[in-house]
Structure 1
Amino acid sequence: MTSRYGEHDAEHYERPRRRTRPRTKDRPSYDDAVEARVVTVDRGRFTLLHEGRTVMAMKSRPLGRKGVVVGDRVRVVGDVSGRDGSLARIVEVQPRTTTLRRTADDDDPVERVIVSNAEQLVVVTALADPEPRPRLIDRALVAAYDAGMSPLLCLTKADLADPETLLSTYRSLGVPWVVTQLKGPDGASDLTELRSRLAGRTSVLVGHSGVGKSTLVNALVPDAHREVGHVNAVTGRGRHTSTSAYMLELPPHPDTDEPGWIIDTPGIRSFGLAHVQPEHLIEAFPDLDEMTEDCPRGCTHGADEPECGLDEALAAGEADQARVDSFRRLLAAREGASDW
């Protein structure tokens, strides 16, 4: 069989072999890397805080698809001067103490980390305008318990409705709460109790649009300048004003001199909990968890489970009915629709 190309054709000659050196297995040690904290993320660029300076950075290629989120403690190399036009490089993400996750829907297997290293989840909800959404609160509590974070219920617009109606639903769970008054009779803001609960901790604020999160942040951090939206009179829904999570340092508390940090997040309308397992949720309630030790394998501890230890404890008078009902409501919220 004759060759397709003759000896005078360029294709006849063998292509030159690549003479590149093999890639080394050695990796840089980054001994000169410094520590910083991620305060916001915007289109692949990360704003960091290092020794009181704001530093812009990008993620290094060796990190691959590893996500970097607000709250992460990272190691950085390059220009950390904070000067205009400077750009550092994130080379390592330190181990996270907590991760607040969500999925797009309850049947979505892909988890998305919202923030990391926060100790407290502050669920902000208005008592009116817009109306409270207990399903939102339940799902946020489930996410907090699953992440190992302490929950705090923050009620706004107390001048429009009585807080007792909503609080009666959550007392049996032992969820701490504060009622904020942003505009008192003299036009002043009363955030004393909230400031005390935020002092010395990293807290993330979640809630749907229009509940007053940005207004609250501006009151807590006067130079935050977060955009404030309004509630649509027809739909009763608020407009998204925060487009990305942002970490802010609180002024030192007058009593403890501890500053604390808050993370403002965009209003969320869907919060899937596909990643939450029932056994993790029951662990957040040690008194109830103890009663489920003899449950059959695979028991979810729901109201329709046969031979559940919670039902046996109720029958024996060893469990509080309201607390069990509240826990099972949270369990049902995990299975319900994710639209807040």
Structure 2
Amino acid sequence: MGRRYDYDESRIGVRPNPKGNRPRTKDRPAHADAVIGMVTGVDRGRWTCLVEGQPVVAMRARELRRSPIVPGDRVGLVGDTSGADGSLARIVRIEERSTFLRRTADDTDPVERVLVANADQLAIVTALADPEPRPRMVDRCLVAAYDAGMHPLLVLTKSDLADPQEFLKSYAGLELSYVVTQVRDDGMIEGLGELHSALADRMTVLVGHSGVGKSTLVNVLVPGTDRAVGHVNAVTGRGRHTSTSAVALELPDGGWVIDTPGVRSFGLAHVDPDSFIDHFPELAAGTDDCPRGCTHDDEYCALDAWVDAGHAGTSGRARLESLRRLLRSRLGTEED
């Protein structure tokens, strides 16, 4: 009788490897044959990309599952790029971005959200009345534009309800580009020609809180778009969100506009507070006499004397208050 623990190698079972015997590797295919397209919209896990003028629906490759892909992105596509009904390509690569606009939910949220990519102009749409303008929101968008390396443009709507010059006084020191518009009784928009000129041959992002007339402008700029138009609540004075996702639209005379959903906050947690002063050029030179470690919001700050001496122009005090409001909000020391 053999010993109980004598084993024969032929009797040992080997568990099969369901994934095969090839060693795992982190190397990914280069996809040298990928065609380049531009993302124009996102809807429920599918991206619409424009490839040589043809819209192509695509999904995201597994290796990009944690990478945000947004309107304006230039991407590499493989698979069925014919654009035929029912076809589905695959996004395998995101090309290098020239710019990307970001925001956070608030000034303490560590998670930043990329809104659009490769735009060179940020059009900040704000109504002069109904709803009332929100200068602090405009300031935040300006800081985000400067941080992203984008050219800011103010688009003021409903000029028939308020004088635009009163609002523009606060920004005289920045020498901002702006366009003033209003919807006439016949449905036409005054100032449309100037707006077309400001948008021509550029990739422009439109941002603004709900109810300012952003979708109305888009529907006129790109006929047939049919972006939903909201209304301002008579009690709260706020607009209702109508656009639910960002979409890139080609202008008939050249250029692109990217319409984004209305926002009620524009967090700047991704922007270094020490860099805020760089986005207020009429104040930056006044910091030379600030003490070491100055936050630009304390009693020893040299900016007060700089502004009082008139070096920052007639809007210097208002701009200094804007800077300090942003700093306090960003640092969580004051509600915006």
In 2, Cα distance between equivalents of 1:71 and 1:79: 21
CA distance in 2 between partners of 1:204 and 1:135 (Å) = 19
Contact kept in structure 1, 2:212 and 2:239, CA below 8 Å:
yes
Q: CA deviation at 1:14?
A: 5.7
Change (3 A) 1:315 1:205: closer
Alignment-mate amino acid for residue 178 of structure 1: V
Identity across matched positions, percent: 60
- Residue 95 (structure 1) shift: 1.5
TM-superposed deviation, 1:327: 4.3
Whole-angstrom distance in 2 between the partners of 1:250 and 1:327: 38
The one-letter amino acid paired with 1:323 is G
Using the size of structure 2 for normalisation, the TM-score is 0.86
In the other structure, the counterpart of 1:55 is 56
Cα offsets for 1:230-260 (capped at 9, x unmatched): 22222222111100001101121xxxxxx11
CA distance in 2, matches of 1:44, 1:238: 28
TM-score, structure 1 normalization: 0.85
What are the Cα deviations for residues 146-190 of structure 1, in whole angstroms up to 9, with x where unaligned? 222111111111112222221222222322211112326x65323
* 1:101-112 to 2 correspondences below 5 Å: 101-112=102-113
Q: Is the 8 A contact 2:39 2:48 kept in 1?
A: yes
Contact 2:174 2:282 in 1 (8 A): no
Deviation at 1:289, TM superposition (A): 3.1
- The one-letter amino acid paired with 2:239 is G
Query: How many Å apart are 1:286 and its aligned residue?
Result: 4.4
Relative to structure 1, is the Cα distance of residues 165 and 38 closer, same or farther in structure 2, using a 3 angstrom cutoff? same
Q: Is the 8 A contact 1:274 1:334 kept in 2?
A: no
Residue 229 of structure 1 and its aligned partner are, at CA, apart by: 1.6
- Pick which of 87-96 and 165-174 moved more: 165-174
The one of 310, 316, 320 equivalent to 1:323 is 316
Which residue is equivalent to 1:164? Answer: 165
Contact kept? 1:245, 1:266, Cα under 8 Å: yes
In structure 1, how many angstroms separate the alpha carbons of the residues matched to 2:327 and 2:242? 27
- Cα 1:90–1:247 change in 2 (3 A) is same
Q: How does 1:89-104 map to 2 (within 5 A)?
A: 89-104=90-105
Write out aligned runs for 1:1-340 (5 A): 16=15, 18=17, 20-183=21-184, 187-190=187-190, 191-252=192-253, 259-286=254-281, 288-293=283-288, 295-302=290-297, 304=298, 306=300, 308-311=301-304, 313-314=306-307, 318-320=311-313, 322-323=315-316, 325-336=318-329
Give a deviation string over 1:60-79, Cα, whole Å, max 9, x none.
Answer: 11224111111111111111
CA contact (8 A) 2:203 2:257 kept: yes
With over 3 angstroms needed to count, the CA separation of the structure-2 counterparts of 1:316 and 1:45, relative to structure 1, is: same
- Tell me the CA shift for residue 215 of structure 1: 0.4
Report the 3-state secondary structure (helix = DSSP H, G, I; strand = E; otherwise coil) of the residue aligned with 2:183: coil
For 2:281 and 2:165, the matched residues in 1 are separated by 27
Q: Secondary structure at the match of 2:182?
A: coil
* Aligned position for 1:255: none
Q: Which moved more, 1:89-98 or 1:325-334?
A: 325-334
Q: Supply the RMSD in Å over aligned alpha carbons.
A: 2.6
Q: Which runs of 5+ in 1 are unaligned?
A: 1-5, 253-258
**How far is the alpha carbon of 1:132 from its aligned partner?**
1.4
Superposed CA deviations along residues 27-75 of structure 1, whole A, max 9, x for unmatched, are 2121111111111111211111111111101111122411111111111
Inter-partner Cα distance in structure 2 for 1:218 and 1:179: 17
Secondary structure in 2 matching 1:240: coil
2-structure distance, mates of 1:111, 1:26: 28
Equivalent position SS for 1:283? helix
Contact 1:273 1:334 in 2 (8 A): no
Q: Which letter does structure 2 place at the counterpart of 1:95? A: E
1:140 Cα offset (Å): 1.5
**What is the DSSP-based 3-state SS (H/G/I as helix, E as strand, rest coil) of the residue aligned with 1:208?**
coil
Distance 1:318 1:208 in 2: 33
Kindly state the Cα deviation for residue 298 of structure 1 after the two structures are TM-superposed.
3.7
325 and 51 in structure 1: CA distance in 2 versus 1, 3 angstrom threshold: same
Q: 1:288 to 1:135 in 2, by over 3 A?
A: closer
Structure 2 CA distance for aligned equivalents of residues 54 and 261 of structure 1: 15
Q: Distance in 2 between matches of 1:119 and 1:298?
A: 34
Matched residue pairs, number? 322
Q: Is the 8 A contact 2:280 2:323 kept in 1?
A: no
How far residue 280 of structure 1 moved from its aligned partner, in angstroms, is 2.4
Contact kept in structure 1, 2:173 and 2:312, CA below 8 Å:
no
Q: Verify the 8 A CA contact 2:287 2:302 in the aligned structure 1.
A: yes
**What amino acid sits opposite 1:189 in the alignment?**
I
CA distance in structure 1 between the aligned counterparts of 2:294 and 2:70, rounded to whole angstroms: 35
Q: Secondary structure of the equivalent of 1:141?
A: helix
Decide whether the 8 Å contact of 2:40 with 2:247 is kept in 1.
Answer: yes
**Structure 2: which 5+ runs fail to align?**
none
